[in-house]
Structure 1
Amino acid sequence: MKKTLILISVLCIISACEKNYTGKFTEWGDTVTEDNKKCFKENQIPYKIDNGKIYIPEDAFDMAINTCS
């Protein structure tokens, strides 16, 4: 019984730590670099590339600035 409760607690904590970005996509930069794409993938930040510019969700800006700049 204890093991089951511990497992459920761990799963709840892990799922609570996941980030789900839902904001409107805004421009991150004028040029797309492999370093930017790699950093976004490593930090699970969704991005779009349109006309050579990279866009990320508004609510991911703080995370991107802290980890990818």
Structure 2
Amino acid sequence: MAVIALLMGSFLGFFGGFTAWGIFGWSAGSAVTLYFALALGLGLLPFIAAALRRGASSKAMAATAPN
């Protein structure tokens, strides 16, 4: 799932950067920055969600575990 998220982020980042550069007249550096921001941001979402889910499940398990 994480690989798919990285590919999807890269795909959306490419089209976002290309649109910003080609249609809205951004500089190439700004478009590349937008590409990296979208690709990394969308690619890291599943990792963050999994880490939060793992942290919440371990706290729930610790709270219900018998002493």
Do the structures match in fold with TM over 0.5? no
Q: Structure 1 length normalisation: TM-score? A: 0.35
Of structures 1 and 2, the one scoring higher in RCO (CA 8 A, sep 6+) is 2
Q: Structure 2 length normalisation: TM-score? A: 0.36
Look at both structures and tell me which one has the larger radius of gyration over its CA atoms: 2
Which has the larger strand fraction? 1
